[in-house]
Amino acid sequence: MELNKFVGNKIRQFREEKGLSQETLAKRLNTTRQTISRYENGDRKANQDVLFELAKLFNQSVDAFFPPREKEVRDERLITIAAHLDDDVTDDELRDILAYIEMKKQLHRGK
């Protein structure tokens, strides 16, 4: 998906979650409803100042308007795995778990 459209979809999502109309959001940003519509449709780029104001208004980080990076997805998976491990997992057990994950990856990738 094109970045402008992704950002626009996030603007629409956050606006709707707040129960705001395009007109109301436009007034809060001192712009027009048409500009908000263009942002949401991906026809116009929201500059950094606009994104910063939207982030404050929607109580979101600026990063929330952008697709997650691959590294972040992997980090979330590791956090999920770590959260399911007991506190008393030994280093040897952890190495076995990681080796098992690597083996499963290799099997699924046909190696």
- Other C-beta atoms closer than 10 Å to the C-beta of 39 total 27
Q: Which two tokens stand for residue 14?
A: 């956050």
Tell me how many domains the chain contains.
2
Instruction: Return the residue matching tokens 């699924």.
Output: 108
Q: Can you tell me the distance from the alpha carbon of 99 to that of 75, in angstroms, rounded to the nearest whole number?
A: 18
Residues 96 and 52 both lie in one domain: no
Q: Is 70 among the domain residues?
A: no
Residues 50 and 101 both lie in one domain: no
pLDDT digits (tens, 9 = 90+) for 92-107: 777 788 888 888 888 8
Residue range(s) defining the domain that contains residue 54: 3-65
For the entire predicted model, the pTM comes to: 0.63
Q: Which two tokens stand for residue 82?
A: 């770590």
pLDDT digits (tens, 9 = 90+) for 16-65: 999 999 999 999 999 999 999 999 999 999 999 999 999 999 999 999 99
